[in-house]
Structure 1
Amino acid sequence: MTRRLAIGIDIGGTKVAGGVVDEAGVVIHRTRRDTPHRSTSPSVVEDTIVESVEKLLGLVDPADIVAVGIGAAGFVAEDRATVVFAPHLSWRNEPLREALSQRIDLPITVDNDANAAAWAEATFGAARGESHVVVITLGTGIGGALIIDGAVQRGRHGIAGEFGHMQMVPGGIRCECGNRGCWEQYASGNALVREARALIEAGSPVVADLLTRLGGDPNALTGPIITEAARDGDAMARELLADIGTWLGVGMANLAAAFDPGLFVVGGGVSAADEMLIGPAREAFKRQLAGRGYRPEAAIVRAVLGADAGLIGAAELARTGR
Structure 2
Amino acid sequence: MQLPPPDSAVPAPNPAPALAAPVSGPNRGGLALGIDIGGTKVAAGVVDGNGAILAQLRRDTPGRDARAVEAVIVELVNELDAKYHVESIGIGAAGWMDLDGSTVVFSPHLAWREEPLRQTLEAMLGRPVLVTNDADAAGWAEWRFGAGRGQNRLVMLTLGTGIGGALVMDGRVERGSFGMAGEFGHQIIMPGGHRCECGNRGCWEQYASGNALGREGRELAKKHSPMAAGLLGAVNGRGKDITGTVVTELALQGEATAKELVAEVGEWLGLGIANLAAALDPALFIIGGGLSTAGELLLEPARRAYARNLTGRGYRKEAHITVAQLGPAAGLIGAADLARVRAHKERDASA
* TM-score bracket, shorter-length normalisation: over 0.9
Query: What is the deviation of 1:194?
Result: 1.6
Greater shift in the superposed pair: 141-150 or 82-91: 82-91
| CA distances 1:134-170 after superposition (whole Å, capped 9, x unpaired) | 1111112111111111210111111111111111112
User: What secondary structure is seen at the aligned counterpart in 1 of 2:59?
Assistant: strand
Corresponding residue to 1:318 among 336, 339, 345: 339
Show the counterpart of 1:183: 204
User: What secondary structure is seen at the aligned counterpart in 1 of 2:49?
Assistant: coil
Query: What is the deviation of 1:92?
Result: 1.5
Query: What is the deviation of 1:174?
Result: 2.0
Distance in 1, Cα, partners of 2:41 & 2:269: 26
TM-score (normalizing by structure 1) = 0.94
> Are 2:160 and 1:136 equivalent residues in the alignment?
no
> Are 2:83 and 1:55 equivalent residues in the alignment?
no
C-alpha contact 2:210 2:245 (8 A) present in aligned 1: no
Distance in 1, Cα, partners of 2:229 & 2:74: 47
Greater shift in the superposed pair: 104-113 or 309-318: 104-113
Show the counterpart of 2:278: 257
Corresponding residue to 1:123 among 130, 133, 144: 144
C-alpha contact 1:142 1:188 (8 A) present in aligned 2: yes
Show the counterpart of 2:121: 100
Corresponding residue to 1:18 among 18, 31, 44: 44
* Equivalent residue letter for 1:280: P
Matches within 5 A, 1:46-85: 46-60=70-84, 62=85, 65-85=86-106
Query: What is the deviation of 1:45?
Result: 2.2
Show the counterpart of 2:60: 34
Q: How many residues align structurally?
A: 316
Distance in 2, Cα, partners of 1:114 & 1:269: 13
Query: What is the deviation of 1:89?
Result: 2.6
User: What secondary structure is seen at the aligned counterpart in 1 of 2:125?
Assistant: coil
Distance in 1, Cα, partners of 2:189 & 2:74: 40
Show the counterpart of 1:242: 263
Distance in 1, Cα, partners of 2:149 & 2:326: 12
Distance in 2, Cα, partners of 1:7 & 1:210: 39
Show the counterpart of 1:216: 237
C-alpha contact 2:214 2:243 (8 A) present in aligned 1: yes
Distance in 1, Cα, partners of 2:207 & 2:291: 13
User: What secondary structure is seen at the aligned counterpart in 2 of 1:136?
Assistant: strand
Distance 1:280 1:57, change over 3 A: same
| CA distances 1:215-268 after superposition (whole Å, capped 9, x unpaired) | 111011111221222122222111111110001001000000000000000001
Show the counterpart of 1:290: 311
C-alpha contact 2:212 2:244 (8 A) present in aligned 1: no
| CA distances 1:64-112 after superposition (whole Å, capped 9, x unpaired) | x321101011111112111112233322211111122223243311000
C-alpha contact 1:66 1:106 (8 A) present in aligned 2: no
Distance in 2, Cα, partners of 1:205 & 1:13: 32
Point out where structure 1 has 5 or more consecutive residues left out of the alignment: none
* Equivalent residue letter for 1:171: G
Distance 1:212 1:300, change over 3 A: same
Greater shift in the superposed pair: 168-177 or 147-156: 168-177
Structure 1 residue runs of 4+, over 3 Å off?
Answer: none
When the two chains are superposed, the root-mean-square deviation of aligned CA atoms in Å is 1.5
Point out where structure 2 has 5 or more consecutive residues left out of the alignment: 1-27, 346-351
Query: What is the deviation of 1:212?
Result: 1.4
Distance 1:45 1:230, change over 3 A: closer
Show the counterpart of 1:159: 180
Distance in 1, Cα, partners of 2:221 & 2:156: 33
Distance in 2, Cα, partners of 1:270 & 1:169: 21
C-alpha contact 1:132 1:149 (8 A) present in aligned 2: yes
Distance in 1, Cα, partners of 2:160 & 2:265: 12
Distance in 1, Cα, partners of 2:110 & 2:192: 28
User: What secondary structure is seen at the aligned counterpart in 1 of 2:124?
Assistant: coil
Corresponding residue to 1:44 among 50, 65, 68: 68
Query: What is the deviation of 1:191?
Result: 1.5
Show the counterpart of 2:253: 232
Distance in 2, Cα, partners of 1:217 & 1:223: 14
* Equivalent residue letter for 1:19: G
User: What secondary structure is seen at the aligned counterpart in 1 of 2:42?
Assistant: strand
Identity of aligned residues (%): 57
TM-score (normalizing by structure 2) = 0.87
